Amino acid sequence: MRYLNKHLPRRLPYFLAGLGVLTLVVLAFRPSPILVDLGRVERGELQVTVDAEGKTRVQDRFVVAAPVDGRLDRIDWDEGDLVEQGMVVARIDPLPLDTRVKEAQSRLQELQAEIVGVETQRPKQAALIQAEARIRAAVAKRRETEAEVEKAEATLEQARRDRIRAQDLEARGAIARQQREADELLETSRARELRAVQRQLEGAIAEVAAATEALAILRAEQRDPDYLVDAYQAQIAAVEAELTNLADEASRTEIRAPVSGRVLRVLQESARFIKAGDLLIELGDPSDLELVIDVLSTDAVKVQPGASILIEHWGGEAALMAKVHYVEPAAFTEISALGVEEQRVNIIGDFVDSSFPLGDGYRVEAQIIVWQDNDVLKAPVSAIFRCGEAQCMFVAENGRVHQREVVIDRHSEFEVVVKQGLEAGEQVILHPTEQIEEGSRIEAR
C-alpha cells in the first residue's frame, strides 16, 4: 500500500494517456453514420389523381356535304368566319339539272300529245321496225351498262382491300390516321359510284322492258286503243315523278348552314366536280368546347362522372378546372411511344369556366381527381419497402434507425395515406438501401 501511494502519482499520467489512446482507437474503428434523406410524417390534404394528356374539341360539330352531283362553285368562306343559320355556304351549278328538267318537260308534252292523237294513230310497218330497233338499242345499252357495273365492282373491291390494308397499317402505327380516313372515304366514293352505275343498269333494264312493252302495245293497238292510253298515262306518271325529283335536286344546289357558328374547316375550297355526299365545309362554335382525355382502361374504371379535373401547362399561368361529363363505354387500341399496345378510354369533361383562350384541338395536361381527403396522416411514398408479407418504413430517432411495420391506404404519385404504424411529426428515411437496418446510425444529408 505504501508502495502504491508512493509510485501512483508518477504513473497516473501514463495511465491516462493509455486510456485516451484506447478511446481514439475505438472511435476510429467505429462505423461512420450513413447519410440519408429524411421525410416527415404529417397530417394534411391528399389527392389521388389520374394524370394524362388531353385535347379540346368543339362539342357540336357539323360537316356540310354535297346533296347532289354537280360542279361546285368556289367556296369563299375562310376558317373563323361567322355563319348564321340559313346562310348559303356553297353553291352547285344548277344548269345540268335545269337542262334535264326541260328534257323531261318535253317528254311530258310529247306523251300528252300522243294521248290526244291515240285514236288516229295506227301502227305502221315503220313504227314496228322503229320499236324493234329501240329494243336492240336498249339491249345494247344494257350490256354496256352491265360491263360498267362489273368494272365498278372491281374498283370497289380494290378500294376495300386498300382500306383494310390502311386500317392494319394505322393499327401498327405505320401510317397516319388521315391516310386511313382517305382510304375509307375512297371506298365510300367507289361504293356510291357502284350504286350509281347499278341504278343506270336498272334504268337500262327498265328501258329494255319498256321498249319490249311498247312493241307489244303497237301490235295490240288495233284491238285495244284504250290500252295504249293507259300506257301513255303510266309513262306520264313516271315523267312527272322524275320532274318532282329533279325539282327537289335543283332546290338543293344552294347549300345552307344548318346552324349558326363559325367555319372550322373548308374541306373543298376550289371549284370542281363533286359527287353527292362529298364533304364541303365544317361548322361549329369554337367557344363551346369540351375536353377529351384518353387514359388507360385500368385507370378509366376509377373515374366517375362529376369528378374534378385540374388542367395545367395549357399555356397560361393559372390552372383551369373542369368536370367529368361521362366516360365513353368503349375502349380503343393505341400503340405507345415504346411500341406497346394499350387499351385506352376517352374521358369527356366540361369546363367549369368558359372564359379562357383555348380553341379546337388544343393540347392540355389534365389531372383527374379520383379521391381526396383534407385531413389524413400522410408520408412520402418513397419511404415504403416490403418486409416479408407486410410493408415497412424506417423511422429516424436520435440518430438511429428503427423499422416500423405500417398499414397504408390510398396513395398519390408522391405521398401515401398511413392508417397505422406512424405518428405525425416522425421522420422516415427516403429511398432506403440495403445498408440500412435496425439500429443503424444515420445522419441527414
Comparing 369 with 123, the larger pLDDT belongs to 369
Buried b (16+ CB within 10 A) or exposed e, 402-432: ebbebebbbbbeebbbbeebbeeebbbbbeb
Closest CA to 327 of 343, 307, 310, 311: 307
End-of-domain residue from the set 321, 349, 372: 372
Give the structural domain span for 271.
Answer: 62-89+254-284
Query: 420 pairs with which residues across the strands?
Result: 407
How deeply is 35 buried, as exposed, middle or buried, from its count of CB atoms within 10 A (0-12, 13-18, 19+)? exposed
**Is 8 among the domain residues?**
no
pLDDT at 343: 92
Q: Are 368 and 422 in a shared domain?
A: no
In this structure, the answer to whether residues 231 and 106 fall within a common structural domain is yes
Q: Which residue has the cell 399555356?
A: 315
CATH at 71: 2.40.50.100
Q: What DSSP string runs through 393-407?
A: EEEEETTEEEEEEEE
Cell of 229: 292510253
Count structural domains, the chain. 4
Distance CA 170, CA 335 (A): 10
Would residue 3 count as lying in a domain? no
Together in a domain, 235 and 196: yes
Question: Do 429 and 401 form a contact (C-beta atoms < 8 A)?
Answer: yes
Query: Can you state the angle between helices 125-171 and 177-220, rounded to 10 degrees?
Result: 160
In a domain, 28, yes or no: no
Q: With DSSP H G I counted as helix, E B as strand and the rest as coil, what are the percentages for the chain, rounded to 5?
A: 40, 35, 25
Give Cβ neighbours of residue 248 (< 8 Å, ≥ 6 apart): none
The enclosing domain of 380 has a CATH number of 2.40.420.20
Q: Please check whether residues 229 and 134 belong to one and the same domain.
A: yes
Strands laid side by side in the 279-284 sheet: 61-65, 279-284, 261-266, 82-83
- Are 350 and 210 members of one domain? no
Residue 331 in domain: yes
Q: Which of 234, 253, 272 is the last residue of a domain?
A: 253
Domain-located, residue 323? yes
Of 242, 263, 284, the one marking the end of a domain is 284
Q: Name the amino acid, one letter, at 425.
A: G
The residue among 299 and 246 whose pLDDT is bigger is 299
Under 8 Å CB-to-CB from 357, ≥6 apart: which residues?
A: 315, 316
* pLDDT mean over 323-352: 90
Do residues 411 and 340 share a domain?
no
Tell whether pTM > 0.85.
no
* Contact call for residues 296 and 347 (beta carbons, < 8 A): no
**Per-residue model confidence as pLDDT tens digits over 344-382:** 999 999 888 777 778 888 888 888 988 888 899 999 989
Residue pair 393/384 in contact (Cβ under 8 Å)? The answer is: yes
The reply to whether 23 falls in a domain is no
| Residue 14 within any structural domain of the chain | no
> What is the structure's pLDDT at 42?
92
Q: What is the pLDDT of residues 262-307, one digit of tens each?
A: 888 888 878 888 788 888 888 888 778 888 999 999 989 989 999 9
More confident: 100 or 64: 64
Per the CB < 8 A criterion, the answer to whether 74 and 384 are in contact is no
Helix (H, G, I), strand (E, B) or coil at 335: strand
Q: Mean pLDDT throughout 133-162?
A: 83
Give the CA distances from residue 27 to residues 372, 399, 433, 438, 442, in Å, rounded to whole numbers and listed in that order: 50, 17, 25, 21, 16
Alpha helix ranges (H) inside 252-322: 297-300
* 3-class SS of residue 145: helix
Residues 292 and 245 both lie in one domain: no
* Residues 85, 97 share a domain: no
Q: What is the mean pLDDT of the chain?
A: 80
- Note the pLDDT of residue 4: 46
Average pLDDT, stretch 414-425?
90
pLDDT band, very low/low/confident/very high, at 260 (cuts 50, 70, 90): confident
Residue 323 pLDDT grade (very low, low, confident, very high; cuts 50, 70, 90):
very high
3 state DSSP class of 75 = coil
Q: Is residue 13 part of a domain?
A: no
185-235 per-position pLDDT tens digit: 888 888 888 888 888 888 888 888 887 887 777 666 655 566 666 777 778
Q: Are residues 325 and 434 in the same domain?
A: no
Helix axes 95-116, 225-251, angle to 10 degrees: 160
| Mean pLDDT score, 34-60 | 88
Spatial distance between the Cα atoms of 269 and 263, rounded to a whole number of angstroms = 12
Domain CATH number, residue 340: 2.40.30.170
